[in-house]
Amino acid sequence: MQSLMTQKNKDLLLKIGKQWAVIFFVAEIIFFGLTAKGFFTVNVFQIVLFFGTAVMLMAVAELFVIITGGIDLSVGYVMGLSTIIATKLIVYFSASGMPEFWGIFFGIIITLVLGLIPGLINGLLVSRLNVPPFIATFSMLGISHGVSELLLTEGAAKNLPHLANVIGNGHFLYFVKGGGFSFFARPEVARGVKVFELFPNVVVITLIIVAIFAFVLSKTVFGIHTYAIGGNEDSAIRSGINVKNHITKIYMLSSLLASSAGVIYMLKYVTGKADAGASLLLDSIAAVVIGGACLTGGKGTVWRTILGAVIIAVLETGLRILGIPTFDKYIMVGVILILAVLIDRIFPETTYKE
Amino acid sequence: MSYLIETRDITKRFGGLVAVNKVNFGVSPGEVVALLGDNGAGKSTLIKMISGVYPNDGGDILYNGEVVKIHTPIDALAAGIETIYQDLALAENLNVYSNIFLGREKTKKRLGIFHVLDHSYMYDEAVGILKKLDIKIPSLRNNVRTLSGGQRQAVAISRSIYWNAKVLIMDEPTAALGVAQQKQVLDLVNSLKDHGLAIILISHQMHDVFEVADRICVMRRGELVGNLVKKDTTTEEVVSLIVGSEAVS
């Protein structure tokens, strides 16, 4: 029996253990492919990504913070606040006679700029005043929620111009059999003629944002400093990295991404809601941990985090097709999160031993 | 004698506690000075002022005979003052060459606008400096986590040398090492001395101190109580200064 657990076998097991998320993903796809009717279609694939946009953006936000060894609990309600601010601004702009496109454009820009503020406050509290990230961002969760409700006392955030719906629920490419392609605009066709819709706009926008942040984390000085701070904050300080500024930027980046998730929600559902992102906090942290990051910091990549987010999105869509209620998804995500942490314990990082 | 780095009446207070009280201390090029003292004697605080981690509350730091302001680690690094901490030196989750370049990464331009990390340049440079110092590391692409204590020290030292250290501060460089690795590090210290570096060595290990130091400075309760040339002193004298003379008599 002893010979079975040779060093080689251990190494192999370790390698497999580190790839468990990929294995889980494949198993998940096979499971839903067998049980959920019509799961293997381009359409379902697009729906998964469509519903996954918010959790992808929020998970990337959370990833940057978690790599530095912190946590951002405010992302969900910052996202909610952003849906309301964006909706109200755009409604206000179009009511005051601005063309629909420019109203949406400026509404989004202002929302994103305002979206930096919660992060700035979180970042300053954490880096300058040594408030634990848990407390700073938990307080910001409450504040964002409160401000959202305050904004809603004057009326619900809705009645966005039609163009918002066209952007949020439109596709990059339309394709009619025998009728050719058209970009952005759905072609006029006779009743009964099938129009293939490819690349939902919000998915394309989300993937571009994700790709930018993947680039920043893996290829730039900003990225490697983020890892360095998470690995050893003292050594980062002593290497001359301005750790306080860097951490402030990380929390700003996090709330900017949460805010952009809010903008995308606003475009998709043409409305603003205070609790739009409330349930996404669990999902985003779970996605990061499933993606192999460690809550003590220093580890994790954007693409693995996206794998984590897609695992959750597939679960959500798959359960929906099977007709299983949403709260079962929360239970499953919770269980997977715990398993992810336990698996991380079982397969530790290889460390030098004297 | 002309010191490369020198402190004059340097002082640091933490609230009511005077951690370092009017200390005059200096090191010349090509000299190893050992800084000794019991826990809480103020050695680390003194070193942290020289390396810019703590700003000093009083007195001056002189570099090459001129008063310089060292308020941040960046100021110290810019002056060529490098510090090697016993276990805080490296980011374990980064690889060897990333650690050597940490905080001073080399980038290259992509598409004319994006600055991306130039991994191959940093790798090649790291190979060069390790070779120059005759240090052997299995792979520079491995995380520092996978290296032994002695190898980590060697990486930290080679980082300093690569960045043109003129003053090297070493905090307990051999504390966590096995015997063979201790010897490697001490040999490295001796060869750095020959390169003309001014080296400050903090150590509790009297054996190390007497092996490599030229001069021995002793601190007690925030003050410098001894400044001895190694060949004119003995372990007993140094120990009595560390613990206070009343304890010896």
For chain A, how many structural domains are there in total?
1
Does residue B227 lie in a domain region? yes
Nearest CA in chain B to A297: B93
| Domain contains B104 | no
- In which domain, by residue range, is A168 found? 36-172+201-346
A214 CA: distance to closest CA in chain B (Å):
12
pLDDT at A56 over 90: yes
**Does residue B129 lie in a domain region?**
no
Strand B167-171 and strand B198-202: the pairing is parallel
Mutate which of A14, A219, A239, A299 to disrupt the B interface (most B C-beta within 10 Å)?
A239
Range of the domain at B192: 5-90+165-247
Tell me which residue in B53, B72, B92 faces A231 most closely, judged by beta carbons. B92
Cβ atoms within 10 Å of A224's Cβ, excluding its own: 21
- In chain B, which residue's Cα lies nearest the Cα of A298? B93
pLDDT at A74 over 70: yes
ipTM of the complex: 0.81
Chain A CB contacts of B91 under 8 Å are 227-228, 231-232, 235-236, 298
- Give percent above pLDDT 70 in chain A: 96
Q: Does B137 fall in a domain?
A: no
Residues with Cβ within 8 Å of residue A174, at least 6 apart in sequence: A181, A182, A183, A185, A186, A187, A195, A196, A197, A198
Per-residue pLDDT tens over the stretch A290-347: 998 988 899 999 999 999 999 999 998 888 888 888 778 889 899 989 988 888 787 7
pTM beyond 0.90: no
User: Could you tell me the sign of the dihedral formed by the alpha carbons of B94, B95, B99, B105, in that order?
Assistant: negative
The span from the CA of B77 to the CA of B168, in Å, is: 10
Judge whether A180 lies within some domain. no
Whether A29 is in a domain gets the answer no
In a domain, A187, yes or no: no
Q: Report yes or no on B119 lying in a domain.
A: no
Residue B146, in any domain of the structure: no
A171 φ, ψ to 5°? Answer: -125, 160
Q: Considering only CB atoms, which chain A residues are within 8 Å of B92?
A: 231-232, 298
Task: Report the pLDDT value the prediction gives residue B249, as an integer from 0 to 100.
Answer: 42
Indicate yes or no: CB of B145 within 8 angstroms of CB of A349: yes
> Chain B residues with CB inside 8 Å of A232's CB?
88, 90-93
The tens place of each residue's pLDDT in chain B, 249 residues long, gives 588 999 999 999 998 899 999 999 999 999 999 999 888 889 989 999 998 889 999 999 999 889 999 988 888 888 889 888 766 568 989 999 999 999 888 989 888 788 899 999 999 999 998 888 888 888 899 898 888 888 888 888 888 888 888 999 988 887 777 787 788 888 888 888 888 889 999 988 888 888 889 999 999 999 999 898 888 888 888 888 888 865 444
Query: Is residue B222 included in any domain, yes or no?
Result: yes
A235, B91: Cβ pair inside 8 Å?
yes
In a domain, A88, yes or no: yes
Q: For an interface test with B, which of A218, A220, A229, A235 has the most B Cβ atoms less than 10 Å from its Cβ?
A: A235
CA distance B59 to chain A (A): 23
Distance from CA of B239 to the nearest CA of A (A): 31
Give the Cβ contact number of residue A241 at 10 Å: 23
CB pairs under 8 A between A and B: 88
What CATH code is carried by the domain that includes residue B177? 3.40.50.300
What is the SS3 assignment for A8?
helix
CATH number of the domain bearing residue A330: 1.10.3470
Q: What is the pLDDT of residues A268-285, one digit of tens each?
A: 999 999 999 999 999 999
B226: its two tokens: 């001894």
Question: Dihedral of CA A274/A275/A276/A277: which sign?
Answer: positive
Domain membership flag for residue A26? no
Number of domains into which chain B is organized: 1
So what's the pLDDT on residue B88? 57
Cβ-nearest to B102 among A228, A298, A299: A228
Kindly determine whether residue A352 and residue B107, on different chains, have CB atoms separated by under 8 Å.
no
Q: Which of B93, B108, B141 to mutate to test binding with chain A, by most A CBs within 10 Å of its CB?
A: B93
Q: Using one digit for the tens of pLDDT, what is the confidence trace for A238-268? A: 888 999 999 999 999 999 999 999 999 999 9
User: Which of B72, B86, B100, B102 is best to mutate for the A interface (most A CBs within 10 A)?
Assistant: B102
In the DSSP assignment, the letter for residue B173 is T
B232/chain A closest Cα distance in angstroms: 36
